[in-house]
Structure 1
Amino acid sequence: MSVNIKNAEEIEKMRVAGRLAAEVLEMIEPFIKVGVTTEELDQICHKHITEVQGAIPAPLNYHGFPKSICTSINHIVCHGIPATEDEVYNGFVKPAILKNGDIINLDITVIKDGYHGDTSKMFLVGDVSPMDKRLCLIAQESLYIAMKKVKPGIKLGEIGTAIQKYIKGATPKCSIVRDYCGHGIGSQFHEEPQVVHYKNNDRTMLKAGMTFTIEPMINAGKFGCLQDDNDGWTVYTGDGKNTAQWEHTILVTETGCEVLTLRAEETIPRHMNNK
C-alpha cells in the first residue's frame, strides 16, 4: 500500500477544499424542507460550488455518476442520485421528494486547485421520530469518537475498532455497514488507505501528513446492503430500515488530527490533540 504524505503546499490546498465543502452543507440547510426535491438541492449546490466558490463538484461524471451531490434519504445508505420524482426499485422506494419525518444525508465533495474536500451530514425534515433522531446522533458520535483516536503511530485498524466498540455499547440493535468505507483523499478523489469502520486488524501506521475520510454508515437494523441494478449507484439497507452517516476529511498532525471539513455549528475543536 502506498499512502501519499502531503507536503505543506498540498495541506493548504486541502484546507481550502475542505472549507468549501463544509460551506456547501452550511449553505444548503435552509433549503431542506418538506416538498423540496433532491434535484432542486443538487441544482442549488451545483450553482454555489461552480459560480460562488469557483470550484468543481467532484461527483459529477465521476465513473458516470450523473449529479453533483449525493442525496440519501431514510433507508438509502449512500450514493443516492438526486431526482424529481419518487421511484420504486425491487420493492424499495427510492425517494426524491422530501416528506415530513424524513432523514437525509447530503454528501458533498468539491475540487479546488486540484485538491478534494469530502464531507457529509444528516439533516432532519420536519418532525422526525425520536428513534431516527437517536440514529443520527449515534452515527455522528461514532465519527467523533473515531477522530479522537487519530494520531501518528496508531494502527489504522484502531479507528474501526473504536467505532464498533461505541456502537455496540450505544445500541445493540444498530449495525455498521461493511460494504463501504472511508478513504485517502487529496489530488485524487479516492486514494489509499481504505478506512474500515468496524473492528479490523489493519496494521497500517498513521503518519503526520496523511489525509483521509472517516464516514461511518450506521443502520438501524442489519448491516447488509443492496445496490440498485437499474442506476448502478443507489445503495439500500437490505432490511429496509433507516440508516445514517456523517463524514469528515481529516489531516493527521503531529499531535492528533485537524478536521479539514469542520462546520460552524460543530462544537468539536478543529485541531484535536489526541496525545
Structure 2
Amino acid sequence: MRRAGLVVAEGLAAMCGAAAVGVTTGELDAVGREVLARNGAISSFLNYGEDWGNGFPGVACISVNEELVHGVPGERVLRDGDVVSIDFGAIVEGWHGDAARTIIVGTPDEADLALIDATRDAMWAGALAMRPEGRVGDVSRAIEEHVKSLPRRYGTLKEYTGHGIGSEMHMEPDVPNWHRRRPTPRLTVGMALAIEPMLTRGLHQTLELDDGWTVISRDGSRGAHWENTVAITERGLWVLTEPDGGEASLGDRFDPLAD
C-alpha cells in the first residue's frame, strides 16, 4: 500500500503542478494517466462503477468550484481563481492508495484559501485521532470539532464519507466527517483508513449532475476536499500517501514500518 500511496502522491503533485489557466480538466487527467503508466500502476477510479452501467471515465476526479467531488474530467477550461479538487487512486500489486488535494489556479481568494486550510487541517485532526482500540467515531468527532472551532462557518458534506481501504478502494468501515451518537467500529493495528473531509463555504446540501457522477453544492458555494490514506502501526501512524509518511504533520505520532 505504501508503494501505491507514493504513486498517488506523485500523481497528485504532477496534476496540481500542471493546473493552470487555460488547461482543461481532461489534460490534467492525462497527466495522471502518464504517472500511472510510468510506475506500472493501475487506476483505482477508471471504469469504477461499470458493474451498474456507468463506469467512471477518468483516472482522477477533478472538481472545480461548486463541483465538490467526483467531477468528470473533460473539456472544462480552468480559469483564474478557480478552486480545483483532485482525487486520485492507484493500485500496485492489488493494493490501493487514495488521496485528494485542493488548489487554486492563478489568483487566490482569501476566503478560498481559508476553506482549503480548514479542510486540510480537519483531515489531520481526524488522522491524529486514530489509535489502536479507539473507535471510528473518535475520528469523526475530531474532524467535526475542528471545523466547529474555526472562526468561519463551513458546510460539511454528509452523504459522502471516508472509508476503509486496502485490497479494495472502498472497504468497511465508513468514516463520516461528523460525529454520530451511536457505537462505531474499533480501530486496530494494521487498519488503514482514507480520511477525507469535504467542506463548502456555504451549506452542506448537494445535487448530482446528469452525468451520474459530479456532485455540486445545492447553493452554488465553492468546496474543498483533502484526503490521505492513513495506517495504524503498533506505535503510531503512517500516512501512506504523503512522501514523508506524514512526519511533518504527525510529530511524535509518526511511526513508519519501513523507509
| TM-score, normalisation: structure 2 | 0.91
Matching residue of 1:244: 224
Q: Summarize the alignment of residues 146-157 of structure 1 with structure 2, pairs less than 5 Å apart.
A: 146-157=126-137
Task: Check whether the contact 1:259–1:270 (CA below 8 A) recurs between aligned residues.
Answer: no
Matching residue of 2:105: 125
RMSD: 1.7
Task: Check whether the contact 1:119–1:261 (CA below 8 A) recurs between aligned residues.
Answer: yes
Q: 2:32 aligns with which of 19, 42, 45?
A: 45
Q: 2:155 aligns with which of 170, 175, 197?
A: 175
Deviation at 1:219, TM superposition (A): 1.0
Matching residue of 2:118: 138
Secondary structure, counterpart of 2:62 in structure 1: strand
Task: Check whether the contact 1:223–1:237 (CA below 8 A) recurs between aligned residues.
Answer: yes
Deviation at 1:212, TM superposition (A): 1.4
Matching residue of 2:72: 81
Aligned counterparts of 1:264 and 1:70: Cα–Cα separation in 2: 24
Matching residue of 1:208: 189
Question: Is it true that 1:55 corresponds to 2:41 in the alignment?
Answer: yes
Secondary structure, counterpart of 1:62 in structure 2: coil
Matching residue of 1:65: 56
Q: How many residues align?
A: 248
Aligned counterparts of 1:104 and 1:16: Cα–Cα separation in 2: 26
Task: Check whether the contact 2:11–2:32 (CA below 8 A) recurs between aligned residues.
Answer: yes
Question: Is it true that 1:115 corresponds to 2:95 in the alignment?
Answer: yes
Q: 1:35 aligns with which of 10, 22, 30?
A: 22
Secondary structure, counterpart of 2:141 in structure 1: helix
Deviation at 1:30, TM superposition (A): 2.5
Task: Check whether the contact 1:259–1:271 (CA below 8 A) recurs between aligned residues.
Answer: no
| TM-score, normalisation: structure 1 | 0.86
Task: Check whether the contact 1:262–1:270 (CA below 8 A) recurs between aligned residues.
Answer: no
Deviation at 1:255, TM superposition (A): 2.7
Task: Check whether the contact 2:15–2:29 (CA below 8 A) recurs between aligned residues.
Answer: no
Matching residue of 2:52: none
Which range is displaced more, 193-202 or 143-152? 193-202
Aligned counterparts of 2:252 and 2:67: Cα–Cα separation in 1: 32
Matching residue of 2:253: 272
* Counterpart residue identity of residue 190, structure 2: G
* Counterpart residue identity of residue 102, structure 2: M
Aligned counterparts of 1:129 and 1:66: Cα–Cα separation in 2: 31
Deviation at 1:273, TM superposition (A): 4.8
Task: Check whether the contact 2:131–2:232 (CA below 8 A) recurs between aligned residues.
Answer: yes
Deviation at 1:128, TM superposition (A): 1.4
Aligned counterparts of 1:99 and 1:265: Cα–Cα separation in 2: 33
Matching residue of 1:90: none
Matching residue of 2:11: 24
5+ residue gaps, structure 2: 50-54
Aligned counterparts of 1:23 and 1:272: Cα–Cα separation in 2: 24
Task: Check whether the contact 1:151–1:255 (CA below 8 A) recurs between aligned residues.
Answer: no
Secondary structure, counterpart of 2:12 in structure 1: helix
Aligned counterparts of 1:207 and 1:154: Cα–Cα separation in 2: 8
Secondary structure, counterpart of 2:148 in structure 1: helix
Q: 1:234 aligns with which of 199, 209, 214?
A: 214
Structure 1 residues 223 and 15: CA distance shift in structure 2, 3 A:
same
Task: Check whether the contact 1:258–1:271 (CA below 8 A) recurs between aligned residues.
Answer: no
Aligned counterparts of 2:222 and 2:154: Cα–Cα separation in 1: 10
